[in-house]
Amino acid sequence: MDRSEAKERIEELREEIEEHNYRYYVLDDPTITDREYDRLLRELEELEEEYPEFRTDISPTQRVGASPADEFESGEHRTPMLSLSNAFEEREITEFRDRVQRKLGTEDELTYIAEPKLDGLAIELIYENGELSEGLTRGDGRTGEVVTRNIKTIRSIPLKLRSDGGEVPSLLEVRGEVYMEKGSFQKMNERRAEEGKDLFANPRNAAAGSLRQLDPSVTAKRPLNAFFYDTGVVEGREFTTQEELLNYFPDIGLRVNPYAEKCQGIKEAKEVYSKLEKKREEIPYEIDGIVIKVNDFNLREELGAKTRSPRWAIAYKFPPERAKTRIKDIEVGVGRTGALTPVAKLEPVEIKGATISRASLHNQDEIDEKDVRIGDTVIIQRAGDVIPEVIKPITEERTGDEEKFQLPDHCPVCGEPVKRPEGDAIHRCVNISCPARIKEAIKHFGSKAAADIEGLGDKLVDKLVEEGLVESIADLYRLDRKEIANLERMGEKSAENLLNALEESKEISFSRLIYALGIRHVGEHLANVLSRNFADFEGLKEAKKEELTSINEIGPEVGDSIVNFLANDSNLKLIEQLDKVGVKYEREAREDEKILDGTRFVFTGQLDDYTRSEAEDLVERLGGRATSSVSSLTDYLVAGENPGSKYEEAQEEGTEIINEEQFKELIQH
């Protein structure tokens, strides 16, 4: 065989193999045996070995997995992967329908698509000119991990889109779910048991663990599969309905779930729910409910989205798995804000593979209302399949030995009296030097979104405070190498790492530092807002409550909290000491050009690309001003979808009215 013959054969084999993959995985209708398939694959491997110049990233041979990586890169989603709002009861589904119809201003029932909600992990694949170029996990919705090489090992995922139906879109981002079948999961665990390896708790964890393998050749051996149900950015084709999308995907080689159904009106969607709930056992993969989506994409656009979820879809979940157990005891924890939280210690039970041994009871009201007592047999569930929750005691099983529980009136850690402000459900230890509060404050300070001090874990903080080495946040920066190395389980090396991390953390942005201080009601977001409105702590300290509350998103409660924090001597001392030990904060490096220079904006209605407050922040960052009502001083009214009464006001005032597009042009963002 000469070179050009080899090239031809290689291409032929690739096509043939992918064709068989398609027939096997998408159509579920294989035409050759596994042995024949393996033979083709082996032949291709040999040829590629012999003629390395014809190797490519999208050859089926790549599916066996490339060499291990050190870590995953992170990649941004061009459009965020939102999550779905959940419903557990039929009533909530009816409310969903009403909401949707109200927002669209129609009385007519819409067409929906109901699909099973797979219990796997969401991914996004990017096909450029039909070739798989990148695979991303959902991550936090905005940024995920690049798992392209692992994705390629999944045989049912096409490396190249099929194109017999005409042109393939030049850019196609598709979204779907990677999962593991229940049977494959079981077999895999049996094998792992034989090999003495740790078992996976459930198929979901197994799928997630497999996809996040640094060594793709490990992923290649895991029985993963995928269904697709959505798109991200698409260029070169327009979809008008979910139905069209679900019909089109298999044509280009993407698997869609066979249980998806078109529903005329919400009632039919509810029927799909009941039907699938009955079928749940016999479906070969785990599903935890159904997803109901508005079919028409134009309507979807009109409905828009909230920050975390679209308004045009809802997840209708099956009842979560419950279990019966006993409350052995109730412990009390003290948080950063001094909140006393009762935690039930449970007789360990397994739900969905995880062994549950504790569950928060939140506060005294919750305990009283549910009448939960120590020694009670209770029903628990994992809310959202994650966080354990006590539903209710089984009173029939009481023996009379159960004890009612009352939160103590003195802090279990420092012994000072506990207060419960009127109208508040939370008991609080108000002693700001309570060791528990100091510990939590320090942990918060060192956390990722705050000063990000690597190596400063919970255990270490506990020890530092207990040993008396650290009494305040500033003390962290006064630790010396010997002190640290002398602690249990800490050596020279760990001490050095910690010191380095501390040193690095001294350079910090103003907003992170504000957040790190742990001012009540001031989280990441508001810390950011504050850092944009004040240059430094000097400015912030001088701010009166009125000045603070005039800032968007800061109301009386938050204003008070900030003023109080900065009026407190020990807090002021902390800020001073941080400065003394060398913590240098700076306003965010990215100083935007002040192109708007005092221009006043008012927003009304809904914008596509920003939330109201994002748009307002943006304006302020660019040196403009965003106000809430139209006056003669207003330069522009930016009108989004469904503008409110401000629209008419602006017309009366003769204020210039612009749409989102024009706004974007104006700010060039």
Catalytic residue IDs: 117
> What span, in angstroms and rounded, lies between the C-alpha atoms of 263 and 111?
6
Stretch that binds DNA, among 278-286, 591-599, 609-617, 630-638 (CB under 7 A): 609-617
- Report the residue from 232, 388, 446, 624 that binds DNA according to the rule CB under 7 A: 388
Stretch that binds DNA, among 61-69, 277-285, 520-528, 567-575 (CB under 7 A): 520-528
Q: How far is the CB of 300 from DNA (least distance, A)?
A: 15
Stretch that binds DNA, among 161-169, 174-182, 322-330, 337-345 (CB under 7 A): 337-345
Q: How far is the CB of 212 from DNA (least distance, A)?
A: 12
> What span, in angstroms and rounded, lies between the C-alpha atoms of 313 and 85?
8
> What span, in angstroms and rounded, lies between the C-alpha atoms of 389 and 88?
15
> What span, in angstroms and rounded, lies between the C-alpha atoms of 93 and 461?
46
192 interacts with DNA by CB under 7 A: no
% helix, strand, coil for the chain, step of 5: 40, 25, 40
Task: Kindly identify the residues of this chain, within the stretch 292-331, that bind DNA according to CB under 7 A.
Answer: 306-308, 311
449 interacts with DNA by CB under 7 A: no
Using CB under 7 A, count the residues that bind DNA. 57
83 interacts with DNA by CB under 7 A: yes
Judge whether 261 and 272 are in contact, CB under 8 Å: yes
- The CA–CA distances, whole Å, from 628 to 10, 139, 533 equal 65, 35, 17
Q: How far is the CB of 583 from DNA (least distance, A)?
A: 20
Structure tokens at 430: 């108000």
What number of other Cβ atoms are within 10 A of residue 450's Cβ? Answer: 21
193 interacts with DNA by CB under 7 A: no
- Report the residue from 457, 539, 582, 644 that binds DNA according to the rule CB under 7 A: 644
DSSP 146: B
341 interacts with DNA by CB under 7 A: yes
421 interacts with DNA by CB under 7 A: no
What number of other Cβ atoms are within 10 A of residue 342's Cβ? Answer: 20
412 interacts with DNA by CB under 7 A: no
Structure tokens at 300: 């979807």
Q: How far is the CB of 86 from DNA (least distance, A)?
A: 5
Stretch that binds DNA, among 63-71, 249-257, 278-286, 556-564 (CB under 7 A): 556-564
Question: For DNA, which is the closer residue by CB, 258 or 384?
Answer: 384
List of residues 6+ apart from 586 with CB closer than 8 A: 507, 508, 509, 510
DSSP 506: T
> What DSSP string runs through 120-136?
SEEEEEEEETTEEEEEE
Residue with tokens 């944009």: 532
Question: For DNA, which is the closer residue by CB, 439 or 612?
Answer: 612
Q: How far is the CB of 45 from DNA (least distance, A)?
A: 35
The single-letter code of the amino acid at 183 is G
Binding mask 474-513 for DNA (x = CB under 7 A): ----------------------------------------
List of residues 6+ apart from 373 with CB closer than 8 A: 327, 393, 398, 402, 403, 404, 405
Task: Kindly identify the residues of this chain, within the stretch 201-230, that bind DNA according to CB under 7 A.
Answer: 201, 205
For the four alpha carbons of 153, 156, 157 and 162, in that order, the dihedral sign comes to positive
Angle value at C-alpha 278, between 274 and 284, nearest 5 degrees:
120
Question: For DNA, which is the closer residue by CB, 129 or 337?
Answer: 337
100 interacts with DNA by CB under 7 A: no
Judge whether 189 and 205 are in contact, CB under 8 Å: no
439 interacts with DNA by CB under 7 A: no
- Report the residue from 69, 104, 354, 414 that binds DNA according to the rule CB under 7 A: 354
Q: How far is the CB of 137 from DNA (least distance, A)?
A: 13
556 interacts with DNA by CB under 7 A: yes
Task: Kindly identify the residues of this chain, within the stretch 366-385, that bind DNA according to CB under 7 A.
Answer: 383-384
Stretch that binds DNA, among 10-18, 259-267, 581-589, 611-619 (CB under 7 A): 611-619
262 interacts with DNA by CB under 7 A: no
Number of H-type helices and E-type strands within the chain: 24, 24
Q: How far is the CB of 171 from DNA (least distance, A)?
A: 28
**β-strand 131-137 against 143-145: which pairing, if any?**
unpaired
List of residues 6+ apart from 489 with CB closer than 8 A: none
Question: For DNA, which is the closer residue by CB, 160 or 352?
Answer: 352
- The CA–CA distances, whole Å, from 548 to 493, 510, 542, 625 equal 45, 17, 10, 15
Residues that bind DNA in the complex, under the rule CB under 7 A: 83, 86, 99, 201, 205, 306-308, 311, 333, 335-337, 339, 341, 343, 354-360, 383-384, 386-388, 424-425, 518, 520-527, 552-559, 603-605, 611-613, 628, 644-646
